[in-house]
Amino acid sequence: MSALFDVVLPVFLVVGFGYAVSWRGWFSESAVDGVMRFAQNFAVPVLLFQSIARLDLSAEFNLPMLAAFYTGALVSFAIGAFGARWMGRPPEDAVAIGFVCLFSNSLLLGVPITERAYGTEALAGNWTIIALHSPLLYTFGITVMEFTRASGQDLSIGRVAIRALTGALRTPLVIGILSGAAMNLMLQAGLVLPGSFWDGVALMARAALPSALFALGGILFRYKPEGDSRVIAMCCAVALILHPAITYGLGRLLSLDVPAMRSAVMTAAMAPGVNAYLFASIYGVAKRVSASAVLIATALSILSVSVWVMILP
């Protein structure tokens, strides 16, 4: 119970505050959109830039940890997509639903919860996972969707692949990660930047998580859970139970050390992020399922994440 109040609840209180003020009409939809646009397009990319730029990639690039997490993610995608098809959803819907099962809220929920549970020093593994999270999974999801949509059309594999890669590279989160990686290489090569630069970056980065969590609550208020109950339940079960369970099992099999196990499992245990809904919106498919799954899984993760905090060392 202490894990619930000390670690998980404070993060969800910020989300709940955003939800409450939107519900009461004290903060308009356009204002919520503005805060989220600021967070996702500017503050969060700056936070990613700062974290990746200063990360010791050679020391923290833990292949077994990444294998455990991303194997769980890809298996979750496959089960979600095939499950959706089995329930009668069309192929493009199935890809979007699989993406909901695949895409953990690694940054907005994973980072603050892991930090509160284990301290700032425990985040190195989280940042390593996040460095690949958006570039890898967006590219994967967009590629699968583009090939699904191109089925029966006279499009070359190269053209579809270029379209998918271009779509992934245009996302602000990926731009922030790639910019941070480039800065990391330049710093290792001897580049020295004034302290005032990093102070400005830090000011912007500190605004990222509070503003994004608040806006997440405001956005979740709009998505009333309705219909498609079997598909939504499947998404919640895969995202909150299956993904972290696979990651934990593989972590034990691969003998992950304690910090790596914490980062991998806690990140896998997060509910699907709003980006899962945005992915569905880009293609105009399975939007109601995606929105409802994000809302319900975020609420349920208060309990599921607390269980993992108690299980992990």
The 8-class DSSP code of residue 24 comes to T
Sign of the Cα torsion 203, 204, 206, 210 reads positive
Q: Say if CB 4 and CB 306 are below 8 A apart.
A: yes
Could you tell me where the DSSP H helices lie in 189-313? Answer: 195-206, 208-220, 229-237, 243-253, 258-268, 274-283, 287-311
Copy the structure tokens of residue 152: 């029966």
Residue ranges of the alpha helices (H) in 119-171? 124-150, 157-169
Q: Are 233 and 97 in contact (CB under 8 A)?
A: no
311 vs 306: CA distance, rounded Å: 9
Asked if residues 272 and 239 have their Cβ atoms less than 8 Å apart, the reply is: yes
Domains of the chain: 2-311 (1.20.1530.20)
Q: What's the pLDDT score for residue 149? A: 77
| pLDDT of the residue at 80 | 96
C-alpha of 180 from chain center: 18
**Bridge-partner residues for 272, per DSSP?**
104
Task: Let me know: does 77 contact 239? Beta carbons within 8 Å.
Answer: no
pLDDT at 224 (0 to 100): 66
Asked if 14 contacts 214 with a C-beta cutoff of 8 angstroms, the reply is yes
- Condensed to tens digits (0 to 9), the pLDDT of residues 22-57 reads 998 999 989 988 988 898 889 888 888 888 887 776
Residue 152, pLDDT > 70, answer no
Q: How far apart are CA 49 and CA 156, in angstroms?
A: 35
Q: pTM for the full model?
A: 0.79
* pLDDT of amino acid 240: 95
Measure the CA–CA gap between 252 and 275, rounded to whole angstroms: 30
* pLDDT tens string 212-249: 888 878 877 877 666 678 999 999 999 999 999 999 99
Cα–Cα distances (Å) from 230 to 11, 79, 158, 173, in that order, read 28, 14, 37, 32
Q: How far apart are CA 165 and CA 134, in angstroms?
A: 12
Return the pLDDT at 33: 85
DSSP 104: B
Lowest mean pLDDT among 82-96, 278-292, 293-307: 278-292
- In degrees, to the nearest 5, what angle opens at C-alpha 41 toward C-alphas 53 and 186? 20
Question: Cα-flanking dihedrals φ and ψ of residue 181, to 5°?
Answer: -65, -40
Q: What is the pLDDT of residues 132-142, one digit of tens each?
A: 887 788 878 88
Q: Is 102 exposed, middle or buried (0-12, 13-18, 19+ CB in 10 A)?
A: buried
Residue 229 in contact with residue 208, Cβ under 8 Å? no
Give the pLDDT score at 116: 82
If you search the block for the tokens 């710093």, which residue do you land on?
187
High-pLDDT (> 90) share of the chain, %: 28
